[in-house]
Amino acid sequence: MHKKYIPNKDLLDALLAGPYSHFKKIGADDWRDPNQNNSSLSISEKGYIDHKSKISGSLWDLSKQLNLRIADGNDNPPKNNPSQTIWNKSEVAKQPDSRSFQLAKSYFTKHRKIPIESYSDIIIKGLIRAYEFKGELMLVYPSLTPETAALAIQSNPFAVRRIQRIFLNPDGSKHQKGKRHLGSNQKDSAAFIIPPLNNKDVPNHAVVFEGLEDALSLRTQYPGSWFFVATDKAGLKHVTGFFENKKFKECLIIADHDTDVRPEVTGQALAWQLGQTIEHIGIKVTVKMPQKPKEDANYALQSGKLREWIDGLIDIPDQFRIDQDRCREVKDAKEYFIKIGLRIQKASDVKIRPIKWLWPGVLAQGKLVIIAGDPGLGKSQVCLFISAIVSTGGEWPVSEETCDKGSVLILSAEDGAEDTIVPRLNAVSADLEHIHIIHAVKLDEKKERAFDLTKDVEQLRHTVKRIDNVRLIVVDPISAYMGKTDSHRNAEVRAALTPAVEFAEEIGACLLCVTHLNKGRTGNALSRITGSIAFIAAARASFLVSRDNDDPDRRLMLPLKNNLAKDTHGFGYRIEEHNLSGIETSNVTWEKDSVDLTAEEVLSDYVGRLDNRGNAENFLLQELAGGLKIPCKELYERAEEMGISPKVLWTVKDKIGVQANKVDFKGGWVWHLPLEVIPEDYLPPKIPEDSQSNNSNLGESSQTILTEII
């Protein structure tokens, strides 16, 4: 163990980069909140002081209160995070007639029938705020740790790492986006805290809910209780830390009535487990749930039957009383292991009627099809969507033709089954009973190895005999399952692919393989596929996944080749966030109309834009070298002479650190590049240190704080 001094300047930088990122400098060494009139809290290199309460202290004390890592000996200032930024910019309802209060009132009271007295105190205290981003209105509230909760309840500044957003329409009704989390508290205990309405007695009773609206609906029924809102069933396990100080003597946990097929993942099972944990601390715990699904506390309030609902709560049934060890056993997939062959997660058999097309004009049954694109554009998401349609017999995009139901095999080398693949399948309503995920090849009872298309097709054939009606095989990416094949040699690639292609044709399944694009910018679109041309030659159809050059959130799936049908149109889609029983995941949503762009057009336009952006970056670096400040209008004129539009300048401006400032109230905007971000090649020559005059003020050195580092 050794000790380390942390300069106050470093502590101040960490505070201004984190919880006080919205503070502005109003003096030589005085930072305050510009959103408050006569802000009482002031921080500087000397420390902090609240001019109203007269409470003051060192920056190290303040950093410790806010759980900044730098106070624990990590001298890297924490980076800003979106949750903290949104929280800092959100509106606090200072008065009942403020916009934020009226928005909350419209949602909670008008549309949810919750009395104003159930939430007005926490609205005015700033624990629930309003935020607007690009025309979207939302109410936001933080997920608090025991430490930040103490600060929040006393209206002191606190760090925010995770928030819950309730998206609203202008009239206060719930937006189609619903509720979405942002950020993470990692493994720390966390919940939204609602203090007692009645503070006459020392509160020693707590109530735990999954949802905010349910907690507020019952707050007047338990006026002397603290409420803890987990925000979803997965958050229930993180509430425990609030009870470890044994402040509470009794706790009531009210679970939702979930209807999951697997009882161990329901809210009532997780609520029962939380009750067991708190009970072991020495607190008397009662765990209840509604008699019927979807009839929660707010439903009862709106129906005018809240008292009857409370009286009708039931104990958690025995089938949901599953302890932690049993949950781990349920998740263990040992029952799906076989002594030899593949280790898979088996669903159930589905009988299908043979057809020629899996997706008419797009995916041919019994043929190799390739989807290619750069990373991060949703190739895997598209494959999982296709898997979901096959598993459920759903409708294809645009044409709305129905797919006959069948089974799916998935080989995925890049995504985990539990945290990515299955949540994404659930997000697109897949039937998991018809989907099998191949993990490995069993060598014996203890040894396994990765699946290899060049030598394990026979194993696949043996396994498919027990999984009837396999209609789709997804290989993502194909390069991970080619064994020792040199993917750039045509002969080797053809030899490696042939057994797999023949097997797919034999069982009548589409072999859908994912691959990437190379970094080349020349040649036609087909030449952009990574590896040998044999991949494209063997495929009967191939598609490009690309970003829309005019809309970065829009994706395109465009035909590269199709040997079995006339050239088809393309498809447009977006990747949207999805909260699945507390698990943040995402899914593909398709546009209703087809896309007439070609892969060649999109790639050519993209390359041209990249070249133009590179020219724009060099132009700005040269024009603004040496810290020059040039009027914006003048830069536009010079750039247009070089064929660079103002739009492109704005696109690259932030990337290279260019700043824009207004000269004065009547003046125009000027652009400049701070010296600290100018590349060395663009800086003016430096003056030797021994020829410079030393005019610096050698006053008091920065205050430092002694901390212990283990």
Tens-digit pLDDT profile for residues 632-678 = 888 888 777 776 777 777 777 777 788 888 776 666 788 888 766 55
CATH class of 343-510+576-597: alpha beta
| Res. 700: pLDDT tops 60 | no
**Range picked from 172-181, 327-336, 632-641 for highest mean pLDDT:** 172-181
Q: What is the pLDDT of residue 254?
A: 96
**Range picked from 72-76, 330-334, 542-546, 669-673 for highest mean pLDDT:** 542-546
Q: Which of 203-217, 404-418, 426-440, 446-460 has the lowest mean pLDDT?
A: 446-460
In this prediction, residues 405-424 reach a mean pLDDT of 92
Q: CA-to-CA distance for 418 and 425, rounded, in angstroms?
A: 11
What share of the chain in percent tops pLDDT 90?
33
Strand duo 192-194 + 226-229: pairing? antiparallel
Tens-digit pLDDT profile for residues 211-266 = 999 999 999 999 999 999 998 888 998 999 999 888 899 999 999 998 877 788 88
What share of the chain in percent tops pLDDT 70?
83
User: 311 or 662: whose pLDDT is higher?
Assistant: 311
Question: Closest Cα partner for 233 from 582, 694, 498, 534?
Answer: 582
Domain ranges across the chain: 2-80, 81-187, 191-321, 343-510+576-597, 604-678
Q: Which residues contact 297 (CB under 8 A, 6 or more apart)?
A: 209, 213, 214, 215, 217, 218, 254, 306, 309
Beta strands in 563-658 (DSSP E): 571-580, 583-590, 630-631
| Res. 701: pLDDT tops 70 | no
User: 293 or 627: whose pLDDT is higher?
Assistant: 293
Q: CA-to-CA distance for 471 and 366, rounded, in angstroms?
A: 8
Q: CA-to-CA distance for 253 and 271, rounded, in angstroms?
A: 7
Q: Tell me the one-letter amino acid at 447.
A: K
**For 699, phi and psi rounded to 5 degrees?**
-85, -150
Q: CA-to-CA distance for 706 and 131, rounded, in angstroms?
A: 40
Q: With cut-offs at 50, 70 and 90, classify the pLDDT of residue 407.
A: very high
Q: Which of 65-69, 434-438, 634-638 has the lowest mean pLDDT?
A: 65-69
Q: CA-to-CA distance for 182 and 169, rounded, in angstroms?
A: 20
| Res. 331: pLDDT tops 70 | no
Does residue 188 come out as left (phi exceeding 0), alpha (psi in the -120 to 50 range) or beta?
beta
In this prediction, residues 614-632 reach a mean pLDDT of 75
Q: What is the pLDDT of residue 676?
A: 60
359-382 burial code (b ≥16 CB/10 A, e <16): bebbbbbbbbbbbbbeeebbbbbb
| Res. 521: pLDDT tops 60 | no
Q: With cut-offs at 50, 70 and 90, classify the pLDDT of residue 511.
A: very high
Give the CA diameter of the chain.
89
In this prediction, residues 258-278 reach a mean pLDDT of 88
| Res. 430: pLDDT tops 90 | yes
Is the CB of residue 408 less than 8 Å from the CB of residue 387? yes
Q: What is the pTM of this model?
A: 0.42
Q: What is the pLDDT of residue 545?
A: 86
Q: Which residues contact 329 (CB under 8 A, 6 or more apart)?
A: none
- Retrieve residue 572's tokens: 């447009």
Q: Which CATH architecture has domain 604-678?
A: Orthogonal Bundle (1.10)
Q: CA-to-CA distance for 502 and 666, rounded, in angstroms?
A: 74
User: 690 or 614: whose pLDDT is higher?
Assistant: 614
DSSP string for residues in 236-302: GGG-GGGGTT---SEEEEE------SSGGGSHHHHHHHHHHHHHHHT-EEEEEE-SSTT--HHHHHH
Q: CA-to-CA distance for 561 and 369, rounded, in angstroms?
A: 10
Q: Which of 611-615, 627-631, 645-649 has the lowest mean pLDDT?
A: 611-615
Q: With cut-offs at 50, 70 and 90, classify the pLDDT of residue 697.
A: very low
Tens-digit pLDDT profile for residues 94-145 = 888 888 899 999 999 999 999 999 999 999 999 999 999 988 999 999 999 9
Q: Domain 191-321: which topology?
A: Dna Topoisomerase Vi A Subunit; Chain: A, domain 2 (3.40.1360)
| Residue-averaged pLDDT of the chain | 81
Give the DSSP letter of residue 337. -
Q: CA-to-CA distance for 278 and 39, rounded, in angstroms?
A: 41
| Res. 72: pLDDT tops 80 | no
Residues in the chain, total: 710
In this prediction, residues 475-498 reach a mean pLDDT of 85
Task: Count other C-beta atoms under 10 Å from residue 581's C-beta.
Answer: 15
- Retrieve residue 570's tokens: 């393309």
Strand duo 407-412 + 435-442: pairing? parallel
In this prediction, residues 456-471 reach a mean pLDDT of 86
Q: CA-to-CA distance for 93 and 86, rounded, in angstroms?
A: 15
Is the CB of residue 193 less than 8 Å from the CB of residue 225? no
| Res. 626: pLDDT tops 80 | no
| Res. 687: pLDDT tops 70 | no
Does residue 693 come out as left (phi exceeding 0), alpha (psi in the -120 to 50 range) or beta?
beta
User: 610 or 395: whose pLDDT is higher?
Assistant: 395
